[in-house]
Amino acid sequence: MENTNPTNPFPGDVIKQELEKRGWTHEDLSKILGRPRPVITNIILGKTVITPTTAQELSVALGGTADYWLKLESDYQLSQSIDDTGMIRERAKLYEFAPLKEMQRRGWITSTDDFEDIEKQLCDFFHVSSVDESPKLEVAMRTSKTHTNEATRAQITWCYRCLYLASALLVKQYDPDMVRKAIPDLRKLATRQEWVKEIPRFLTELGIRFVVVEQLPKTKIDGAALWMNDSPIIALSLRFDRIDNLWHNVFHELFHILNNDGYRLDLEPDDETPIDEIDEVEKRANDESADALIPTGVLDSFIRRVSPFYRRERIIQFANRNKIHPGIVIGQLQHRKEISWKSNKEFLVNVRDIIKKTALTDGWGCTIGRSER
């Protein structure tokens, strides 16, 4: 069967042409197909679409294939639709540019149906002239050599929010030498659970901005070392509400800063990744953080004496002797796989609600700000 009709012809006209070529009427076609005449009339008038069953029947009665008749119907329907794909493409671009829904839920941009306003807000948030421009923030992520280290747009969005909050903080002049000298005093705060509230004030005196921002879904962010001109920023997500995670991440980001590692975004480590495949910069920060909290030689000696019998009393005695919270001891033993992740969980106390009182915080439904100074 030949189709001499123009592009996207009306299916009913094609059927009528085929009937005229054969000298058939609507009544004849209804009898051939075994369909009521009103049904045939509605198909020809376009009131009823050509279904796969109808297409199969028309192919037998009038020629062509079922695919031909279905394509005839779909092409015509598409040609009659309003071409607003340009606007759809522009709106889709906004959703691809950033985690729009989550940003609106968190109040980082206002919720509105005005997409021009949304685009303007996104441009202001990321300091770009249009959503065709990529945000100018290059972060190096904690990763293994076998994994990509390209940050997702949601992870970059989290960093931008941290930078925005940090800009509101007033800190003293940053001096790396002063920070290194102050590390022993910072470490003293890791002795007791309630002393974590002193971390923001302590870092502020050293010229380091400290913010806490709840992670965005599926970003697996632990923290980041960021910079605002010559002023460093430690940003934490506190997604694991444990004292050992808090202190490890504080020192981890602090050593990134002291080592001038630039922008570093630290994500959930992959436990299946061999040690020798971990980024050397990250491995150094991990080692320095662990050593600052519990000197490596001291912990090695404890493990040699006690392993594998890590009784509660032994852990408390070791923690007291080294003036460190027992939860941090547990965390390091778990990391070394000396004990299971389920062991001695009672020591892994929560600290998020404590530090939220003094740190500039965004997330968990709390108001941004510090209720205690």
Alpha carbons 171 and 163: distance in angstroms, whole number: 14
User: What does the DSSP 8-state code read for residue 148?
Assistant: -
Torsion of CA 77, 82, 86, 91, to 10 degrees: -100
Task: Report how far apart the first and last C-alpha atoms of the chain are (Å, whole number).
Answer: 85
What are the beta bridge partners of residue 360? 211
Mean pLDDT score of the chain: 89
Q: Is 64 helix (H, G, I), strand (E, B) or coil?
A: coil
Lowest average pLDDT, out of 78-87, 113-122, 131-140, goes to: 78-87
What does the pLDDT average to over 108-112? 94
Q: Are residues 76 and 90 in the same domain?
A: no
Indicate whether 113 belongs to any domain: yes
Residue 3 lies in a domain: no
Which residues pair with residue 211 across a beta bridge?
Answer: 235, 360
Q: Name the pLDDT band for 8 (thresholds 50, 70, 90).
A: confident
- The structure tokens listed for 84 are 């607003």
What pLDDT, on the 0 to 100 scale, is given for residue 82?
64
Mean pLDDT over 239-264 rounds to 95
pTM score of the predicted model: 0.79
Same domain for 313 and 209: yes
| CB atoms closer than 10 angstroms to residue 362 | 21
Q: What is the pLDDT of residue 193?
A: 97
Q: Which one-letter amino acid corresponds to residue 366?
A: C
Mean pLDDT score, 173-192: 97
Tell me: the pLDDT tens digits for 14-64?
999 999 999 999 999 999 999 999 999 999 999 999 999 999 999 999 999
CA-derived radius of gyration, the chain: 33
- The structural domain count of the chain equals 3
Do 333 and 221 share a structural domain?
Answer: yes
Binned at pLDDT 50, 70 and 90, residue 138 comes out as confident
Q: Is residue 103 part of a domain?
A: yes
79 — pLDDT class (breaks 50, 70, 90): confident
Residues 103 and 169 in one domain: no
Q: What is the pLDDT of residue 342?
A: 87
| Domain that residue 244 falls in | 140-369
pLDDT band at 221 (very low <50, low <70, confident <90, very high): very high
| Alpha helices for the chain (secondary structure H) | 11-22, 26-33, 37-45, 52-62, 66-80, 85-97, 100-105, 115-126, 153-166, 176-188, 199-205, 243-258, 280-293, 296-306, 312-321, 326-335, 352-355
Residue 2 predicted with pLDDT over 80? no
CA dist 349 and 335 (Å) reads 17
pLDDT at 163 over 50: yes
Q: What is the mean pLDDT of residues 101-113?
A: 94
Output the six-digit token pair for 305. Answer: 């004496």
